[in-house]
Structure 1
Amino acid sequence: MNTSLKSLSTTALIVAGLTTSAAAQDAIWPFDVVNSADGGSEIVSYQGLEKAEKPWHICVLFPHMKDSYWVGVNYGIVDQARKLGVKATILEAGGYTEAAKQVSQYNDCVALGVDAIVIGAISEAGLAKSMAEGNEKGIVQVGVINPMSDAAGARIFANYDDAAEAGAKFLAEMADGNPMRMVHFPGPQGSGWAEASTEGVERGIEGSAIELLEAKYGDTGKSIQLRLVEDALQAYDDVNIIYGTAVTAEVAKQALEEAGNDDALIAAYYSNEGMVDLVKSGVVTATVTESPVMEARIAMDLAVRILEGKDHLVELNPSMTVLTKDNIDGFDMSRSFAPADWEPVYAVE
């Protein structure tokens, strides 16, 4: 293993609280990740490269940039490309319903003659044929954010079942044996990560007093999530917990107020920038973050390491944190979100 990847522990990391010094907030590296290759759970302290050996051309595919989560991923990709001194071309498909468009964009990347493709996949199955052809052409492929198999030479993504389980366990502890009724809003069906989150919720509330009424799947656009929450509140009496995507948590208060439900808890199993103020104000009880900006930085670093024949890890999961009103002020937001004035960038020359 490269000396820049220092072993810390053999135990997987999901933490519920933290403190961060000002000095640590100013530094990008190191960042703790779980080396999950071959079912492992070793925590390593990841240290990125300072510069690439040459200005490689890396194409990056996103499902969309409709919310601050993926805008943060864009920031991580772009800023790391600039630090490494590589060229980046960034394409976004427009939403999780646009799997065919992402396949077309993958082929566009190949036509550009790029050295590597970093993929935030809408559907790995949909990309399988194109990725196989990319491998045959010698194009380095790295998966980022959304789960991916060893079709990619390396990948870093959150285990959303673990993230959802961590948040669900926190809510079960809050319930403290009092019966509560939950509706879960996982995200788009067929994405893989949404279904995984439902599995995590089921594990997290097992043996608790929380009843899962339904998992309502749908795209993560605000209007769609609002409609799903409204539908759930009409279908079920006495909903106590709205748990789901960050977008769900953003719109849930409006739906609850319109339904006259003043007591339900709102929580998210991943975070976007909107979660920060909502958690601080107490509107959202808890949210889980896996630091997507750092996932993006590491994906770019992995692509360069593979291109340059350097030692690299092949499957990584980011460390995760359950954020609440009590600990959010101690969290380094630059690892999860873009700066407030950041606008999406589509090319780094």
Structure 2
Amino acid sequence: MLINTFFLYAHSFVKRLTLCAFILGPVFTTIAVAEESSHKERICAIYPHLKDSYWLSVNYGMVTEAKKHNVSLRVLESGGYPNKARQEKQLATCVEWGADAIILGTVDPDAYQHNLDHWVGETPVFALVNQLNLDEKQAHLLKGTVGVDWYWMGFEAGKYLANKHPKGSGETNVALLLGPRTRGGTKPVAAGLYAALKGSDVHIVESYWADNDKELQRNLVQRVIDSGNAQYIVGSAVAIEAAISEVRHANKSNQLGLVSVYLSHGVYRGLLRKKVLFAATDKMVLQGRLVVTQAMHYLRSQPYDKKAVPKISPLTPNTLHTDTIEESLSPSAYRPTFSVNPVD
């Protein structure tokens, strides 16, 4: 009798519990979903530097895209291509901050080839602008890349000069001021430039190397002007920005043409005023947007293009199309933004 009574009450309790679960189930599910969706992804981005407006424009693209996706973004900059040790510490800082993904503009393509996991653990990494070489053990950490092959940036600049000075047109001398000798995109830019100049009457007669610092590049520009050997300066945006004013002060604007291998705000103004003859753009704002989109799609298990390569556009004073400039340069009043906080 006692056993029967126990089973009767137990059966009644189970029925009531089942009914409560049926009624409250959607509530519990809603709470669980709300808790899950309240997690805002954290993205940590590291730039090699912010010494020119190239990376400023990348920053603008990343910030606008992070706001669009309503995620946390933290931005660090390494202060220049020689600063590998500083960038290593910044990778560790990203991990300590709790980054769900790291976007890396490396200071050296081979800097983390064998030890990226030492700095990031298993945090997914997305390479931005600068090539990131990894061995087989490290390769699984790289979940996406955004950027062009800078060989073709150099090739476009060389093609512009080769078309102006084909074989038989008369020897034309060029001075190269591409930036640091072995870091960033310098080596592939030089390779592309030389390849495009083959068979033309353009000759490289001077090459000077220094970090993309305005004063360092200004000193190199002055050396080129003083030597009087070149009819063109082909250089980084930092070098060409410095050259615009230095060439004007030396009254050499009609004797020394300026060609930039990439675009910046100063180079763009030079194109508008016809002080710069040519620049190539790999669309920096667009790259910033693309890499944040890559990271977000990865973190949210959505499909994405793991290798995004914007189309390089050659620019002259007569080909400054609005849509290309908007995909390339941040607004003139924009200042670097180092954090984006999601809105609840």
Instruction: State TM-score, norm by structure 1.
Output: 0.79
| Aligned position for 1:290 | 282
Residue of structure 1 aligned with 2:237, choices 243, 246, 250: 246
Q: C-alpha displacement at 1:256, in angstroms?
A: 3.0
Matched, 1:336 2:328: yes
Q: Distance in 2 between matches of 1:221 and 1:266?
A: 18
Instruction: Tell me the equivalent position of 1:33.
Output: none
Taking a change above 3 Å as real, the CA distance of residues 162 and 127 of structure 1, as seen in their structure-2 partners, is same
Change (3 A) 1:97 1:342: same
The more displaced of 186-195 and 251-260 is 251-260
SS in 1 for 2:209: coil
Give the superposition deviation at 1:310: 2.3
* Larger fraction in helix: 2
Is the 8 Å Cα contact of residues 104 and 125 (structure 2) preserved in structure 1?
A: yes
Which amino acid is 2:196 matched to?
A: G
**Is residue 165 of structure 2 the alignment partner of residue 175 of structure 1?**
yes
**Residue 89 of structure 2 corresponds to residue 99 of structure 1:** no
Query: 2:313 corresponds to which residue?
Result: 321
How big is the alpha-carbon RMSD for the aligned residues of Structure 1 and Structure 2?
Answer: 2.0
> Pick from 189, 201, 213: which aligns with 1:209?
201
Give unpaired runs (5+ residues) of structure 2. Answer: 1-36
Aligned pair in 2 of structure 1 residues 118, 131: CA closer, same or farther (>3 Å)?
A: same
> What is the distance in 2 between the residues matched to 1:339 and 1:192?
25
Map 1:209-288 onto structure 2 (within 5 A).
Answer: 209-235=201-227, 237-257=228-248, 259=250, 261=252, 262-288=254-280
Match of 1:24 in 2: none
Whose strand fraction is larger, Structure 1's or Structure 2's? 1
For 1:230-273, what per-residue CA distance to the aligned partner results, in whole angstroms no more than 9, with x for missing partners? 223334x4311100111111111333345553311101010001
Length, aligned pairs only: 296
* 3-state SS of paired residue (2:94): helix
Q: Which residue of 2 aligns with 1:345?
A: 337
Report whether the alignment pairs 1:133 with 2:118: yes
Contact 2:280 2:313 (8 Å CA) reproduced:
yes
Distance 1:191 1:118 in 2: 18
Structure 2 residue matching 1:126: 3-state secondary structure: coil
The TM-score with structure 2 as length reference comes to 0.81
- 1:223 Cα shift? 0.7
Structure 1 residue 157, shift from structure 2 partner: 1.5
Letter of the 1:241 partner, please give it.
Answer: Y
- Runs of 5+ consecutive residues of structure 1 not aligned to the other structure: 1-51
Q: Sequence identity, in percent?
A: 24
1:81 and 2:66 correspond: yes
Q: 2 CA distance for matches of 1:130 and 1:345?
A: 30
Aligned partners of 1:103 and 1:130 also within 8 Å: no
Aligned partner of residue 303 in structure 1, secondary structure: helix
Q: Secondary structure at the match of 2:309?
A: strand
Deviation larger for 121-130 or 177-186: 121-130
For the residue of structure 2 that corresponds to 1:294, the secondary structure is helix
- Runs (4+) of structure 1 exceeding 6 A deviation are none
Distance 1:169 1:205 in 2: 7
SS in 2 for 1:336: coil
